[in-house]
Structure 1
């Protein structure tokens, strides 16, 4: 049960409306509990904050009881409503009419049994139940002052009228019913992703160059300097735009950030860290050029979460996402190239939860979260991988190499029984594929069209 809070809307000196936060859907509040049912959270509406009856109509569908608050000496009635967890309405004709609409019996502040009700001898457990699936916090309470109460869509990023309303007064006071707090904050801050919009991959396709800035051995991103890399990925994106003029393509760099190593190294985990200062020139240039950055982790015997935290300063930047490469996630005695590594769903979920929390805390645009996989065993218990973080766009990157036939076979196997709501990534190996698909072939033959197309 969430602790209840109350919304206080003032008319003169009289505080008039109390309402509560959500409990779990379908929870039985017990025969001694007063109940309050919230209005359907979908849709778009507003009500003036000073009009408590209007606010009640706006927020509430029904209530088992209410307390009427007199204009003179209202505190006892307000305390009574708070104790019971029921709305407090003004003791006026409109207030009594609203109590009737709610189907509520009227409780007096000095009558603990209420009007004909059985005595309530112990604390009640008030419940607000959404008519749909409740969000973790059904009501987000703000100090409204003279502002309006605003009800917006559950995810205003997906509802243009809600987004427009939020952007109209980004600093104004707000009480939102049913909306995700993170989505509200990024819309109000106009924190859009690279390429525009609120989503990292929805309605767009990232075209990435993969590698390490130290040189060409680890991929095409290291085959030229920073300025030339920007020019090269832009040229690649133009080819895709020519092949599919109606689609939205966005350039990206996938930077190998920790590199699987032949020796233990200073951390004893067979994974070499790249200093943040060595990555910043490429990350800075990408931000200036409108290029997404994806930090790729090859953790060796370390964990993905441990290494991700080492690059928090970069991941706090709006255009930087994260990729996990289980091929290089070793067991406690493993060494690189002895066998293909793997990771469990729990470790993936701990990492995504941390990244989502970081993104939410700083109201950053949605980040791309990539999971590399070309064998089924690389992500154990994959059906348990969470893909529901609104802060992240999860992409499974099928990065096998070889002939087109072999690659399409891998593509089909990895896509079977995938978690819900994932996007897909395809990798073209410039030297290892036999032969590599060209731009037109990649776009025509790889279906569904990938959200992430990478070149290594």
Structure 2
């Protein structure tokens, strides 16, 4: 079967254009008190700190029903994904739809997060959230910020890896912006360039230990063959993705965290190889995210060929405020249109 506009499907995200240009946890510690009756009197005895976890176990029947709803009538057997892996308590997906702004504070060209001052950014993102709530009132919206914490660079840097790691002070600023809207979650995104994912994860581990911080990785900038980032499209294999999900699973178990949402950008087949070997874990929720830009029909084709056709777990869809307008009909796809996709994306990113 021919893919329409095949050459156009191999798309570089807006992050490339910017490369070379200038909540408290549900789990908490409380003092436990034991009431003891002695000679008719009640005595309060204070014990050592005990852990109280307010997260409720996942309702598997509701989970199954929501996954079937997301499949949107698909009859091929691909969706919903056949898996007996249920998430641990506190899982966001599929109970809520995540809607985020993406970008970097150092560049106005890499996305709405960074292009606008925080108050203006929140005004715009809140408008998008309200639109989604109106279109799909049965699915609550989880607001989020998706921050590029390691940016593939046009210069080699001190270590020769062509990667610009954001300072902790920058990440702290994003966390502060997130707190302007209660219960906002944050994604830290890694473009590893000539480094590798194993080497880069420890740089942000202290943030991933926070219950409201999640992870994104970008195969576009994983340059395993030594090519410079931005010259060609990179790749991750299922083995890389499984390493990351195990890393996240270990963190959630060690620190008693709710499941981590793990977003993987994709807009070509080679960006993710051997996807059928990706492992699902109760501690991690994997989103295969359609990251290509262009006119609506092109974006739908990219989603169909590279996201729908290789089921993993959940799906996402990116909308570009600028690049999606470059060709006729010069408009963004609407939530109403995205709700017609098979499966319906449960993670929405605006750049």
TM-score normalised by L of structure 1? 0.55
The answer to whether the 8 Å contact 2:98/2:142 transfers is yes
Structure 2's unaligned 5+ residue stretches are 1-55, 62-84
Q: Give the deviation of 1:322 after TM superposition.
A: 0.4
- The aligned counterpart of 1:28 is none
Note the alpha carbon deviations across 1:70-124, whole angstroms, 9 max, x for none.
xxxxxxxxxxxxxxxxxxxxxxxxxxxxxxxxxxxxxxxxxxxxxxxxxxxxxxx
288 and 431 in structure 1: CA distance in 2 versus 1, 3 angstrom threshold: closer
SS of 2:263's equivalent in the other structure is strand
Alpha-carbon distance, 1:229 to partner: 2.6
Deviations 1:312-341 (A, max 9, x none): 111111111101100000024210121111
CA distance in 1, matches of 2:120, 2:211: 23
1:218 is matched with 110
SS of the aligned residue for 2:154 comes to coil
Does 1:424 pair with 2:315? Answer: yes
- Structure exhibiting the larger radius of gyration computed from Cα positions: 1
* Equivalent residue in structure 1 for 2:58, among 154, 157, 169: 157
Matching residue within 337, 343, 349 for 1:448? 343
Q: 1:276 aligns with which of 168, 172, 177?
A: 168
Q: Using the TM superposition, give the Cα deviation of residue 239 of structure 1 relative to its aligned residue in structure 2, in angstroms.
A: 1.6
* Residues in 2 aligned to 1:349 and 1:236: alpha-carbon distance in whole angstroms: 33
Question: Are 1:308 and 2:209 counterparts?
Answer: no
Contact residue 259 and residue 271 of structure 1 kept, 8 A: yes
1:188-209 per-position Cα deviation (integer Å, ceiling 9, x unaligned)? xxxxxxxxxx212212111111
Listed as ranges, the gaps of 5+ residues in structure 1 are 1-154, 161-179, 188-197
Superposed displacement of residue 436, structure 1: 3.3
- Rounded to whole Å, the distance in 2 between the matches of 1:319 and 1:367 is 9
Q: In the superposition, relative to structure 1, how do residues 376 and 361 fare at CA in structure 2: closer, same or farther (>3 Å)?
A: same
- The Cα RMSD (Å) is 2.1
- State the Cα distance separating 1:268 from its structure 2 match: 1.4
CA–CA separation in structure 2 for the residues paired with 1:410 and 1:438: 14
Rounded to whole Å, the distance in 1 between the matches of 2:311 and 2:318 is 20
Tell me, yes or no, if structure 1 residue 383 matches structure 2 residue 276: yes
Inter-CA distance 375–159: structure 2 relative to 1 (3 Å threshold) = closer
CA distance in 2, matches of 1:254, 1:207: 10
TM-score, length of structure 2 as denominator length: 0.71
Matching residue within 332, 341, 346 for 1:437:
332
Separation of aligned partners in 2, 1:200 and 1:307: 25
Mapped to 1, the partners of 2:244 and 2:102 lie a distance apart of 22
Partner Cα distance (1:244, 1:207) in 2 = 13
